[in-house]
Chains A and B, each alone.
Chain A
């Protein structure tokens, strides 16, 4: 079973708006990562946040982590049509040395 669960499953917004996706998980983590996948392609790493960090920024991306609630959010600001993709959170718990992915959020940015 997959540990991370994204919410919402699908999100449709207008270009220029912000998009927020949430991820919840069940176990303790070493770090949490967000990936993007365009249709039929491999995944691309976006950003990583360690368990002792609360917020991280990278360009138009902002990630928050609340380990007490076992949740994370990914904010994409000023979205573009090219941001249309599936976004996955993945948890790395260290001991297992593997990533466990959620089921993803399908983001559609309308021009």
Chain B
């Protein structure tokens, strides 16, 4: 499978715990995006990387959120001290450097904070 993969697909955690999600993009894609989606809404931009550089972060990305893409390949999104409001679907998308910014999405990680 050469598409975007995300792990885990589902995560249930207790409030206050830390969680980490992983995204493996399409191998030749340079840009990687993270989005958050709540029920009945469209995805909201969180941050994006071009290769290993994090070029933009949304103000939605509080200091409890951190993302990395250490070697310009896979990326991780960590949420520290989770809150119930963090419950959402976290989506990753990858994009080739050249082109129109058509995004290739992974299946998402569903986070539930109890």
A contacts, CB < 8 Å to B: 2, 4, 30-31, 33, 35, 40-45, 48, 50, 88, 90, 92, 96-104
Question: Are B107 and A2 within 8 A (Cβ)?
Answer: no
Give a binary string over B9-49; 1 marks a CB under 8 Å from any A CB, 0 the rest.
Answer: 00000000000000000000001010100001111110010
Task: Provide the bound-state CA to CA distance between A102 and B48, in Å.
Answer: 19
Q: A4-B42, A31-B100, A103-B42 are in contact. Are A43 and B48 (CB under 8 A)?
A: no
Question: Are B102 and A48 within 8 A (Cβ)?
Answer: yes
Question: Are A97 and B45 within 8 A (Cβ)?
Answer: no
B contacts, CB < 8 Å to A: 4, 31, 33, 35, 40-45, 48, 55-56, 89, 91, 93, 100-108, 110
Report the nearest B residue to A1, measured CB to CB: B44
Task: Provide the bound-state CA to CA distance between A88 and B103, in Å.
Answer: 13
Task: Provide the bound-state CA to CA distance between A43 and B42, in Å.
Answer: 10
* Shortest distance from the beta carbon of A35 to any chain B beta carbon, whole Å: 8
A31, A98, A102, A103 interface centre (most CB from chain B within 10 Å): A98
**Which one, A42, A88, A98, contacts B48 given CB within 8 A?**
A98
Question: How many CB-defined contacts (below 8 Å) exist between A and B?
Answer: 67
Q: A42-B91, A43-B105 are in contact. Are A98 and B44 (CB under 8 A)?
A: no
* Shortest distance from the beta carbon of A56 to any chain B beta carbon, whole Å: 12
Q: Sorted from nearest, which 3 A-B pairs have the closest CB atoms? A: A101-B42, A42-B105, A43-B105
Q: A42-B91, A45-B104, A92-B101 are in contact. Are A98 and B33 (CB under 8 A)?
A: yes
* Shortest distance from the beta carbon of B12 to any chain A beta carbon, whole Å: 15
